[in-house]
Amino acid sequence: MIKRFYVNNFRCLEAFELKFDSMSVFCGANGTGKSSCLDALLFVRDLAVGNCFLGNASNNNGRVVSSLDFCYWSNSKIQEFELEFEIDSMCIKYLIHIEQKADFEPPRVIKESVICDNKPLFQRELDGVHLTESQKSFPLDWRQSALAIINPVKELKNVEKLKNALKNLLILRPNVRIFESESLTENQYPNIDLSNIISWYRSLYEDQEWASSLKEVLSEVWPEDFKFINMLSLGSAKSLILKFTEIDLQFDKLSDGEKMLIALYMLYVSLKLGKVETLFIDEPDNFVALQELQPWLLSMSEIADKRHQFFIISHNPEILNGSPVSINYFFRDNHSSPTRIKPLDIPDGLIASEALAMETRM
């Protein structure tokens, strides 16, 4: 379970701390840092699990970050990130600091550590990585994180638990317009934009409980005429086909909103059955109507607990009305001030969307 995220000197995030429960909605005006917070989390996660490299690293398969997004009013050339998890009743903290001295120099990791219940498991400085339990040390390329390459030997088993928790942070910003219409392979994880949705479906579909649960919830979404959803072979590729009472429709024939509903309920079933442990999703309300989104949000709230975490960013204040989840409000005083966050205060006699409108005008 993710408990805390600290960011310093990333875009508009300066000495910014975000604490997590089981489920929250994040709201606020444009430019207040909501998406930047997710981008920072994505950056740290990808760096920590080996999907991201710093500087010129064209010989790897991950994304390359050649320059850092500092707060433009800051003179510091160091970014600081901290993540805190509760795993098997332990508190495990991950810290990483990254430096870019000048625009023409590549960024590098200058400090990194993992601490479990106040006991360091490893520490990294510019001279290398120091494994505190075994007293071993080794040098490491500044372009990558130590966490990504440390082997899970016995004394570092909790490091592996942290890496697994990071891998299970699913961070999404869905874009229905680029969803694939067919797939040539299976993908264990979805892309951030969910463009590989069918490839991800193929991976999940092998679990009959998952497939049956998705069919059941889609029957509630379209109770009048939905029959089932299944894989469709197209030569060497595969797609999805939905059978309704009087028509069969391939995935690419559905409306944008229908595709998004399928994606949202795939996420719901995956979270419910433990395929996903923690989900962050940015603006899922871009393609679906309010009356379609609120039942999904309610379903998500019903399964949220320590092992099923869910966090949503939304620009649609109407989805907050009657929401059973906590609401956190992002704000900035002006364009040269850092992002701050507070619980949304809902005065007596007002609904959440009205309270949000009042905050935005202040």
Closest CA to 173 of 332, 282, 248: 282
Asked if pLDDT for residue 250 goes beyond 80, the answer is yes
Helix axes 290-303, 208-221, angle to 10 degrees: 140
Asked if pLDDT for residue 60 goes beyond 70, the answer is no
pLDDT for 322 equals 64
pLDDT for 109 equals 96
Tens digit of pLDDT for each residue in 315-357?
A: 776 777 766 677 888 999 998 999 999 988 888 888 777 877 7
Tens digit of pLDDT for each residue in 195-207?
A: 999 999 999 999 9
Can you spell out the DSSP letters for 19-87? Answer: E--SEEEEE--TTSSHHHHHHHHHHHHHHHHTSEEESS-TTSSSEEE-S----TT----EEEEEEEEEE
Q: Where are the domains of the chain?
A: 169-276
pLDDT for 57 equals 58
Percent of the chain past pLDDT 70, that is, above it, reads 95
Tens digit of pLDDT for each residue in 223-246?
A: 999 999 999 999 999 999 999 999
pLDDT for 9 equals 98
C-alpha span between 316 and 323 (Å, rounded)? 13
Query: Angle at CA 281, nearest 5°, toward 216 and 11?
Result: 175
Tens digit of pLDDT for each residue in 140-180?
A: 888 899 999 988 777 789 999 999 999 989 999 999 999 99
Asked if pLDDT for residue 58 goes beyond 60, the answer is no
C-alpha span between 77 and 217 (Å, rounded)? 49
Count CB-CB contacts under 10 A for residue 241: 16
